[in-house]
Structure 1
Amino acid sequence: MEKYMSSTPAPAPAPSASPVLAGAAAGPASAEQQRLEFWDQQARRLDWAQPWHTTHTFTPALDPQALDLQAPDPQASPNIKSAADSADSATSALRVPSIEWFAGGKLNAAVNCVDRHVAAGKGEKVALFFEGEPGDRRQVTYQELQDQVCRAANALTALGIVKGDRVVIYLPVLVETIVITLAVARLGAIHSLVFGGFSAEALKFRVEDTGAKLLVTTDGQFRRGQAVPVKANADVAVAGENAILHVLVIKRTGSPVEWTHGRDIWWHDALEQAGTEHTAEHFDAETPLFIMYTSGTTGAPKGLVHTTGGYLTQASYTHELLFSNPDPALRDTDVHWCTADLAWVTAHTYEIYGPLSNGVTQVIFEGTPNTPHPGRHFEIIERYGVTSYYTAPTLVRSLMGWFPDGVPSHYDLSSIRLLGTVGEAVNPQAWMWLRNQLGAGAVPMVDTWWQSETGATILSPRPSDTNFKPGCASRPLPGVSVRIVDDAGTDVSRGEQGLIVVDGTGPAMARTVWGNPQRYLDSYWRKFARQGYFLAGDGARYDEDGDIWILGRIDDVINISGHRLSTIEIESALVSHPVVVEAGVTPVADPLTGHAVVAFVVLAPSCDLGGAAVQTQLRAQVAHMIGPIAKPSAVVVVPDVPKTRSGKIMRRLLAQMYQGTPLGDTTSLQNEESLAGISAAIKQYLGKESP
């Protein structure tokens, strides 16, 4: 049985203005039809070689016919069994959900990101301002980007890459990284970007799991003022049994490399033989575009598969809605900067496909934000006239620690028109610092909530809003919908903590887990299969206005004597203390209360408090801001907290290290070296005090 199907014929589409979804319709059926018509219209902003005949089909995880059930009632009684109970009693009725958007349509992602802008007469517009960590700079126009992408596509074709092949890209933030990514997409192949700082083990898993034919890497990368060798990790990753035929190597640092003749090829040699003329093929909308790996609490990383037409539609629309100048006549003055590493899904959506599909000028930066000094980002904003600055709360908190007296006045940040955060919920203190210091306390703030799975922003304030709430994700964007429910799938009341689910997904939603569709079902759809909800894995609550506050991962909820506490709220209380730069809070088992709170804090360099004083002050701070029930039982001072490349604190690792249990997957850490310092701090703390 197919659910949510629209068969509106699509005439040959042409780019058009982006409409805004109208207010609530008369009933659920008309509201759903309105949602599909909205995405049908947004897809027309792209160039399609062949129109689609069906906007959307969704086959849910639970087959109503198999269980002789009716479609779920959103106002169903709380006495209805949860989907997990249903699954236990009728396993045969569960199936992997099937999602399809714009069936019958054909397009090419790279053509939409580059060629169409050149054809529209914008070939001389700057696409990329590149700044390398050592200070080298390049600017690349759309015409130059098209030439390079076409050459790269010809070079990849010469290496045997065809539609459906997987290409793993193990590179830092370089112009070449974007060029190769678009060239892979141009051929209908599937790319999987891997952070250049990941270990050989993490890379090896991704090479083998994807069955990649080609690995693209570099001789080295500049990081924190050093030329770090990279090729050796690539060599280890492709040793043993795999499908790799070639390793394509970019010369970046001049670091010495081991060379396997016949397998290894220099990038510049491959491009020397390739021309700039390339005729792009157009592919079905559901052609896989990329595999994005995200780590789970248990098990190996999950390879989420995103497809071309739906992903590009939502990436392009949401980028324009959130970041483009509200006056279309002024958009040529936009300079966008998403600070994410290109291997992170945020960079895919808001640094590659979203901005480039909209013909935007943007900045890409190879280095770390405090190399060679903590003001590097401010220099870049001033140099290129950045208008939208999109970054992670962890970086904002670092800037707060580096500049306790505020941003020095000699930096000119007046070009900034909009600020945004992404990765996890931003602490109100960090939100206010960012807006006051970089936006003169007046610019719009888009605090975006979304995931690798959703592919694009789900919740965010609008830039046009006039009443921003520090740390509040606000409400769903047009075309998607969410609800907050209890464990049985029943809507919760305002002020009550629950689970956020997506009940109206957008076209960028991941379609499956690569090579493991059962894990896709089990991880995201099984729990609320009866209702057809996507389980996001975060806790949330509505405030009195109906706006949504994200409270952190479900696994991180702290339950003390029946009181459910949010890690984000406790961390925000800690960060609001002037001596704390960063905080990670985790629950640990307690025989009396169920959970106890353990806090890991990074202190400001200027802090001169001793361990006992830190304990006393920070426990009192949490008690004052939240209540005595939330006071940490332990406060451990650490040099850093473990973070993923998306800027999320891996709180489960903190709990596992504190309790001495085996660590789960750590391959997605951006700062794996922090674990040694945290372990030493825990040993020192536990040697003096008991938790």
Structure 2
Amino acid sequence: MLYSVNNQQSGCRHPSRILGRQLGTVMSSYKNEYRQSIEHPEIFWAEQAKRIPWFVSPQTILEYDDQGHARWFVDGEMNTCHAALDHHVESGRGEQAAILWDSPVTGAKRQLSYREMRDQVAMFAGALAELGVEKGDRVVIYMPMVPEALIAMYACARLGAVHSVVFGGFAPHELAVRIEDAEPRVVIAASCGVEVDRVIPYKPIVDEALRTSRHQPDATVILQRDQLHAELGEGDHEWQALVDAAKPVPCVPVKATDPLYILYTSGTTGKPKGVVRDNGGHAVALYYSMETIYDMAPDEVFFSASDVGWVVGHSYIVYGPLLRGCTTLVYEGKPVRTPNAGAFWRLIEEYRVKTFFTAPTAFRAIKKEDPDGQWLAKHDISSLKALFLAGERLDPPTFHWLEDLLSVPIVDHWWQTETGWPIVANLQGLEAMPIKAGSATVAVPGFDVQVLNRDGESAAANEQGSVVIREPMPPGCLAGIWRDPQRFHGAYMAAFPGYYLTGDGGYFDDEGYLFIMGRTDDVINIAGHRLSTGEMEEVLGAHPVVAECAVIGIHDALKGQVPVGLVIPKDSFSGDEVALEEELIALVRQKIGAIACFKQVLVVSRLPKTRSGKILRKLLRHIADGKEYGVPSTIDDPTSLEHVRDAMCARDVGQATDARQV
């Protein structure tokens, strides 16, 4: 059964129990906007919805399904491609740059105006239509960071088809299980991806995935790149040949609640978990966030150093900037080694970037190679007004390094694949607030963020607990798990009825600032005392020679768990590793106390991470505890596992074994 709240009503369904404490010390513009969004969400989001072009404007703003989950703008009709491209061309923005592509790994650069982007999308959408793609069909996209990846995504949106982007370079098995789950009519791929030191053929990966998949698409489209041409077989089509024979097609109207894309969360094993994003709520939320959080105006250049295979790429490379009428910078390169640790600074200078968004791990890599910022001194980055970081916790040492290096706000903000846009941030376009190292600042309007203890009650200030979001979730958040509504409810809503479980732990301080301390399973229990590994990482990371670190809790027969630190020194470090380890142990005991039982540190040269930069802490725990583990599809460097495992074995850490577990 559905019940709804239309835009004539203003009742508060879920008033925030922590509103007073959370907003007590911040200024009025943020406080008023946040309170309006929580107490009168339907009025607030009805106003925001007016900012995007609708074919049929929504009248029913907020509706709940029989499990109490929010559905936004249910009777509205629009098209995301139209809102991001056609609308801007029709409004006189056709000659403005929509996409700037910079590929140091190939030495190529391109620029596409809004008009050129619209025209190329319309033609490729016509090519897909000739292959039988219709509204509601799925299309899997397996491509590197090239403009055609964005063209393919928008072409699907233009047709009302549902795209599912799989990170280029994923193994055949991982691609196959996503194809089986999404059941696409067409698979789109490039002939290859280009890395710093090698070219990765994509076509053999696609062929192997299709050979093992129970679902077979009607066709495969291959973009031939100059670095490697793929051999085409039966059912394969060359991108350019299809486009040459195609006719442009108009945008297909879709309901606001129709799916725009499926994005499989990183690290999934077994049956994949496909996060579903709708069209209308997604467009409204991203437009709002570009203006309110990132302080972006039309014509300005936004740079997100991510990949279209991740949620950051979907939200803030592909869709958010163009919905707002900005220019998006698409980068096929790395923070270092393409060609050096000044790559980001060069891009900011060359393209006059106003706002830059990346993961903390990128700057830890830069800090490791260029701790004094010598490459920065070679570039004029005066266009930069703010640096945003997310994807993992911004540790205070990295924050302070950036703060000393740059003269712009260093903004930590926190969100998830499931939410699609920031939950907690320092809102540069609404009211910039004082920055606190280690905190993502305050809840974004629309998100009723609370911290609950193990009894499901509101935690006191400075008391750590589970970070949750009280329903209704705002527009733009996941509409469900593809073809698995029970999994959606069980994974996110069942633990605390009426709340979305983020899976992260944290606390509010006395001024209402939220501190995210990491996943709840990163809290370790030492002889009955619950301690955060994130706090220990802060201490280690503050040491002047430490570039990056991780702390994990490993099994201990006496105390339950004990912490072990893994640290990567800066490239300039040439001292005694044993002495460094002893210094770090003493530092943790000094800052946190003997209660931490911190007695072991290993100096390593690299840590296992996902391609999006997250350290695989759970995997490290399995290695240390001698448990079986598999190499996840999202890992950036599989040899890093062997390196850390060997280091653990050599130092008798936990139950680590020389035998590789699979």
TM-score of the pair, normalised by structure 2: 0.91
Tell me which residue corresponds to 2:14.
none
Mapped partners of 2:515, 2:237: distance in 1:
50
Structure 2 counterpart of 1:445, from 410, 434, 437: 410
3-state DSSP of counterpart to 1:364 = strand
Alignment of 1:117-266 (within 5 A): 117-132=88-103, 133-240=105-212, 241-261=214-234, 263-266=235-238
CA distance in 2, matches of 1:423, 1:147: 34
The structure-2 alpha-carbon separation of the partners of 1:184 and 1:298, relative to structure 1 and needing over 3 Å to count, comes to closer
Deviations 1:329-364 (A, max 9, x none): xx43x2110101111101111111111100101211
AA paired with 1:22?
Answer: N
Aligned partner of 1:375 among 312, 332, 342: 342
Task: Pick the aligned partner of 1:114 from 85, 90, 105.
Answer: 85
What code does the residue aligned with 1:57 have? E
CA drift of 1:296 comes to 5.9
Distance 1:298 1:225, change over 3 A: closer
Q: Measure the CA separation in 2 of the matches of 1:362 and 1:31.
A: 29
Rounded to whole Å, the distance in 1 between the matches of 2:593 and 2:575 is 23
Distance 1:598 1:502, change over 3 A: same
1: CA distance between counterparts of 2:229 and 2:85?
35
User: Which residue number corresponds to residue 318 of structure 2?
Assistant: 352
What amino acid sits opposite 1:37 in the alignment? Answer: I
More divergent stretch after superposition (240-249 vs 155-164): 240-249
Deviation at 1:259, TM superposition (A): 2.6
Query: Structure 1 residues 620-629 or 490-499, which shifts more?
Result: 620-629
Partner of 1:56: 62
Q: Are the equivalent residues in 2 in contact too, given 1:382–1:412 (CA < 8 A)? A: yes
Structure 2 residue aligned with 1:661, among 601, 624, 627? Answer: 627
Give the whole-Å Cα distance in 1 for the aligned partners of 2:534 and 2:369.
22
Q: Aligned match of 2:53 in 26, 36, 47?
A: 47
Deviation at 1:576, TM superposition (A): 1.3
Task: Map 1:394-473; keep pairs closer than 5 Å.
Answer: 394-408=361-375, 409-437=377-405, 439-440=406-407, 443-463=408-428, 464-473=431-440
Please report how far the alpha carbon of residue 138 of structure 1 lies from its aligned counterpart in structure 2 after TM superposition. Answer: 0.5
Structure 2: which amino acid aligns with 1:518?
A: Q
**Among residues 32, 44, 60, which one is paired with 1:22 in the alignment?**
32
1:639 to partner: Cα distance? 2.7
- Tell me the distance in 1 between the aligned counterparts of 2:269 and 2:249: 44
The answer for the alignment partner of 1:7 in structure 2 is 6
Query: What residue identity is the alignment partner of 1:555?
Result: D
Q: Which residue of 1 aligns with 2:496?
A: 528
Q: Which amino acid aligns with 2:42?
A: L
Q: Following the alignment from structure 1 to structure 2, what is the Cα–Cα distance between the partners of residues 446 and 35?
A: 26
Q: Is the CA contact 1:450–1:457 (under 8 Å) kept in the aligned structure 2? A: yes
Cα gap change, 1:466 to 1:200, in 2 (>3 Å)? same
**CA offsets 1:625-645 (integer angstroms, 9 cap, x no match):** 322323534322333222223
1:102 aligns to 2:73 (yes or no): yes
Cα shift at 1:664: 5.3
CA distance in 2, matches of 1:425, 1:173: 25
Q: Map Cα deviations across residues 499-550 of structure 1 (whole Å, 9 max, x no partner).
A: 0000141111212111222211111111112xx0000000011112121100
Preserved contact between residue 63 and residue 70 of structure 2 (Cα < 8 Å): yes
Q: CA deviation at 1:648?
A: 1.9
How far residue 232 of structure 1 moved from its aligned partner, in angstroms, is 1.1
Written as runs of structure 1 = structure 2, the 5 A alignment for 1:541-580 is 541-580=507-546
Q: Deviations over 1:548-588 (max 9, x none)?
A: 10010011111212322222222121111122211122111
Give the drift of 1:647. 2.3
C-alpha distance in 2, partners of 1:427/1:589? 25
Contact 2:645-2:656 at 8 Å conserved across structures: no
Q: Which amino acid aligns with 1:648?
A: K
Residues 78-127 of structure 1 deviation map (CA, whole Å, 9 limit, x = unaligned): xxxxxxxxxxxxxxxxxxx5431101100000001100000000100001
Structure 1 residue 314 displacement after superposition: 0.7
**Hey, what's the Cα distance between the residues in 2 that align with 1:584 and 1:177?**
34
Report whether the alignment pairs 1:493 with 2:460: yes
Deviation at 1:60, TM superposition (A): 6.3
Tell which deviates more after alignment, 51-60 or 565-574.
51-60
Equivalence for 1:89: none
Q: 1:507 to 1:24 in 2, by over 3 A?
A: closer
Deviations 1:194-237 (A, max 9, x none): 11132122111111111112111111111114222221111111
- Asked if the contact 1:387/1:418 (under 8 Å) is kept, the reply is yes
Q: Does residue 601 of structure 2 align to residue 601 of structure 1?
A: no
- Asked if 1:301 corresponds to 2:259, the answer is no
Residue 256 of structure 1: how far off its partner (Å)? 4.6
Measure how far apart 1:665 and its partner are.
6.9
User: Aligned AA for 2:275?
Assistant: L
Which of 263, 284, 293 is residue 292 of structure 1 equivalent to?
Answer: 263
Whole-Å separation in 2 of the counterparts to 1:405 and 1:363: 27
Q: Say which SS state the counterpart of residue 130 (structure 1) adopts.
A: strand
Q: Where does structure 2 lack aligned partners over 5 or more consecutive residues?
A: 10-28, 658-662
Q: Structure 2 vs 1, CA of residues 296 and 669 (structure 1 numbering), >3 Å: closer, same or farther?
A: closer
Distance 2:95 2:656 in 1: 65
| Partner SS state of residue 418, structure 2 | coil
Could you tell me how far apart the structure 1 residues matched to 2:259 and 2:70 are? 13
Rounded to whole Å, the distance in 2 between the matches of 1:581 and 1:616 is 17
Give, in whole Å, the separation in 1 of the partners of 2:653 and 2:596. 24
Distance 2:371 2:619 in 1: 29
Separation in 1 of the partners of 2:292 and 2:552?
Answer: 35
Indicate conservation of the 8 Å contact 1:336/1:389, yes or no.
Answer: yes
1:477 aligns with 2:477: no
| Counterpart position of 1:67 | none
Secondary structure in 2 aligned to 1:238?
helix
- Contact 1:171–1:196 (Cα < 8 Å) also in 2: yes
Provide closer, same or farther for how the CA distance between residues 284 and 20 of structure 1 changes in structure 2, counting only shifts above 3 A. farther
1:323-342 matched pairs, under 5 angstroms:
323-325=294-296, 331-332=298-299, 334-342=300-308
Deviations 1:255-285, CA, capped at 9 Å, x for gaps: 2534312x1111111111123x322111011
Instruction: Report the Cα distance in structure 2 between the residues aligned to 1:596 and 1:54, rounded to whole angstroms.
Output: 53
Percent sequence identity is 35
657-666 vs 497-506, greater mean Cα deviation: 657-666
Inter-partner Cα distance in structure 2 for 1:36 and 1:220? 46
Relative to structure 1, the CA distance from residue 59 to residue 24 in structure 2 (aligned partners, 3 Å threshold; closer, same or farther) is same
Cα 1:445–1:37, aligned 2, differ >3 Å: closer, same or farther?
A: farther
Aligned-pair CA distance for 1:686: 2.2
State how far apart, in whole Å, the 2-side matches of 1:288 and 1:209 are: 15
**Gap regions ≥5 residues in structure 1:** 11-18, 62-96
Q: 1:298 to 1:208 in 2, by over 3 A?
A: closer
Question: Partners in 1 of 2:220 and 2:34 — Cα distance?
Answer: 53
Query: Are the equivalent residues in 2 in contact too, given 1:21–1:38 (CA < 8 A)?
Result: no
User: TM-score normalized by structure 1?
Assistant: 0.87
Structure 2 residue corresponding to 1:321, chosen from 292, 299, 307? 292
Letter in 2 for 1:250: L
Task: Report the equivalent of 1:35.
Answer: 41
Residue equivalent to 1:71: none
User: Which of residues 580, 583, 587 in structure 2 aligns to 1:617?
Assistant: 583
